[in-house]
A and B are shown apart, each in its own frame.
Chain A
Amino acid sequence: MPELTKRERMKMDRTAMPMRHASERATDFDEVNSGYTMEMAMTEASRCLECKRPVCVDGCPVGIRIKDFIELVAVGDTSGAASVILEDNALPAVCGRVCPQESQCEEACVLGKKGRPIAIGHLERFVADEERRRGLRHAAAVAPSSGKSVAVIGSGPAGLACAGDLIQMGHKVTVFEALHELGGVLAYGIPEFRLPKEIVRSEISGLADQGVVFETDVLIGSGTTLANLMEEDGFDAVFVGTGAGLPRFPGIEGEDLIGVLSANEFLTRVNLMSANLSDSQTPVYDVAGRPVVVIGGGNTAVDAARVALRLGAQPVSMLYRRSEEEMPARNEEIEHAREEGVQIRLLVAPVTFNGDDGWLSSVTIQEMELGEPDDQGRARPVPIEGAFATIPTDVAIVAIGNAPNPVLIRSTPDLATTPWGTVETDPETGATSLEGVFAGGDIATGGATVILALAAGRTAAAAIDQWLR
């Protein structure tokens, strides 16, 4: 490709991500986006202005050298690009798919001012997919053995990122996972059509190849305690990345009816236990041809709505108590959900779940209006007096967030926590109130994103390395 002038680059359109048509994809669990071809990736990469001071990097929580990897993609060197990315991110195929790029790197991109930022996420995904497709593995260099060992509790994004960095630093790392499958929210939470499990497994096996030991079926804090890990099992340091796995319920009448369930439960049954398959041994409510209501406006709510749609539910409505502007879900997911037929009802909140002999039959909702901003600056929803409506439905999926999982905290009395039940940490290092114990991800911040958890895992890994030496 001939060298393009800056003006030519600025004129080019952003290369669209090829995706399957909504009517086709809404009936199966295969991936929505099919990914760039090499030609598309090179074209998209060639739009990069190669800024002297690449502000996109500031927008990336883990500081990937974005400009450098994009330059390599522009000349077709995906292996070189993969090596650059892996220095800072052990899970590029995952992050390329699930990061909210529009509020991070791509928001910072200079071309974004014209509404056409470089598709950094799509390129990151392309690089990782291309290398995997070609069977190539890029293990970053491993430092000489330190003789120290670290226990990582939880195999979600925070734990994996922490483990990936620690192993490169020359420490022995064992990751403990409570479930039978590795990946935490990547395994039980994010559905196949957005993040194929094969990709999660492949990125995790990359870590195993580098020497990270994984142990499933171990819930630290119930039985084996954090103290046991340090005192009996001889770990020199511990990273706590147990996530925000305790679903909240609205606390309204009728939430014990059959048909009311958390998005975690619904998604776990389908994603982790394959309840969507006809020969699955784990059941899920039969929603084919029946209405489903999802309560919430985050990525989990959108995921649950789209899974319900794929199980044949009709219609699927999301109920969100604020306006679209406040919806925490990624823009792309909201768009995809709408294209597939998910109805989004804004400014409504459930008031009661109504039942018939123990089974859910309808949800009564109340209309809301936006009031004063809350302490996070988001407009507070205020109920409109007397404005009620009833929606007939057999299934209501609750996706209003998660509280920190209390199992480890309860069994570690000396570990200081915040009034919100999260583990108290130094944000600069992830250090907790206990010597040698670090924490990061949703257990420290409350429910956030995959990439922020990765960043916290990396921060803690650096601090653990320092502390061990």
Chain B
Amino acid sequence: MTPRFTIHETIEVGPDIARLVVDAPRVARHARAGQFVIVRPSGDSERIPLTICDSNPDSGTITLVVQAIGGTTTQINAMQAGDALSDVLGPLGLPTEIERFGTCVVVAGGVGAAIVLPVAKALAEAGNRVIGIIGARDADHLILVDEMDEVCDEVFLTTEDGSAGVQGFVTDALASVVDSHDVDRVLTAGPIPMMRAVADVTRAYELPTIASLNPIMVDGTGMCGGCRVTVGGETLFACIDGPEFDAHIVDFVSLQKRNEAYHTFEACRLRDTREELDA
């Protein structure tokens, strides 16, 4: 069978972070902000979820941003334009709820920027005033800043080492934005401790806050329940009930813990993949 999911373009946008444009006409035709795909780079790969950062129904392509943190993501980022992914299934998950809320703040950490970018765009198109906050450990790890600038009314940058933007955490920036603006809604994506801290900041203001969760997934269609998360005491499946949930009632401690389930295996796989690629 001819490969359907050819990579058109792959650009390094940060350390171990690639942006890929991939042929996936069916996905591109229907994708909406907040949705994701399940990808297998080759015929023997595991299935991993990746957020759809952008989609173009006319060219039939989608954009994915991949940080090489494990074996499979490392394998994807080593692929070249012209190579094809074995499988791309999507769009999956419920799209972000987009309405005219008023003023919305999107808060991203690291590659979370790839998740909030399409949401910021959709919110802006719906007539919201959109404020972006992107944080990373240093300037190199701040990605999609220009793209965020384009769709947001204002963008604040933070880095832990102060090499770009304001030194500190996204929560510092968020607290000052919330204090100085009349904010109606917050959406956050990134590392779990960061999303949890964002939820803690906005809880005091009773500010509706949505978090895009990233649990371990296998099929992505509701069939296995591996991605179940506890939200308001209820067991829900991130793949079909999410991936976005009310951040104030998400059990982030459980989510963080569950993501450690295969740490040893993943570390071995990452090492093996790097060795294979170096060989």
Interface residues of A (CB under 8 A from B): 178-180, 188, 216-219, 222-224, 245-247, 249, 251, 255-256, 258, 261-262, 264-265, 268-269, 273-274, 280-283, 285, 357-358, 405-407
B:241-263 near A, CB below 8 Å: 251, 254, 257-258, 260-262
Residues B235 and A251 in contact, CB atoms below 8 Å apart: yes
The residue in chain B whose Cβ has the minimal distance to the Cβ of A251 is B235
**Quick check: A217 and B218 within 8 Å, CB to CB?**
no
Q: Are B89 and A219 in contact (CB under 8 A)?
A: yes
Give the number of A-B contacts (CB < 8 Å): 115
Q: Which residue of A lies closest to B42 (CB)?
A: A281
Q: Is the CB of A281 within 8 A of B72?
A: yes
Q: Which residues of B contact A269 (CB under 8 A)?
A: 218
In the assembled complex, which residues on chain B have CB atoms less than 8 Å from the CB atom of A222? 90-93, 221
Interface string of B56-99 (1 = CB under 8 A from A): 00000000000000011000000000000011111111000000
Q: Which of A223, A246, A265 contacts B91 (CB 8 A)?
A: A223
Residue of B with least CB distance to A279: B44
Chain A residue numbers with a CB within 8 Å of B90 are 219, 222-223
Residues on B with beta carbons closer than 8 Å to the beta carbon of A249? 225, 228, 235
Residues of B close to A188: CB separation below 8 A: 219, 223
Q: Which residues of B contact A224 (CB under 8 A)?
A: 26, 29-30
Please state if A180 and B221 are interface contacts (CB–CB under 8 Å): no
Query: A residues within 8 A CB of B29?
Result: 223-224
Give me the interface of B with A, judged by CB distance under 8 Å: 4, 26-27, 29-31, 40, 44-47, 71-72, 86-93, 218-219, 221-226, 228-230, 235, 237, 240, 251, 254, 257-258, 260-262, 265-266, 269
Do B222 and A245 have beta carbons less than 8 Å apart? yes
* Residues of B close to A261: CB separation below 8 A: 225-226
Q: Which of A178, A216, A273 contacts B221 (CB 8 A)?
A: A178
A residues in contact with B46, CB < 8 Å: 273, 281-283
Give bound CA distance, A274 to B218, whole Å.
13
Whether A258 contacts B261 in the complex (CB less than 8 A), given A218-B26, A223-B26, A281-B72, comes out as: yes
Contact of B260 among A258, A280, A282 (CB under 8 A): A258
Partner of B223, one of A216, A218, A247, A358: A247
- B91, B230, B257, B269: the one within 8 Å of A281 (CB): B269
CB atoms of A223 and B222 under 8 A apart: no
Tell me if A258 and B257 are in contact (CB < 8 A): yes
Complex CA–CA separation, A224 to B92 (angstroms): 11
B165 to chain A: closest CB distance in Å?
A: 35
Kindly state the separation between the CA atoms of A380 and B218 in the bound complex, as whole angstroms: 34
- Pick the contact of B224: A218, A255, A262, A280 (CB < 8 A): A262
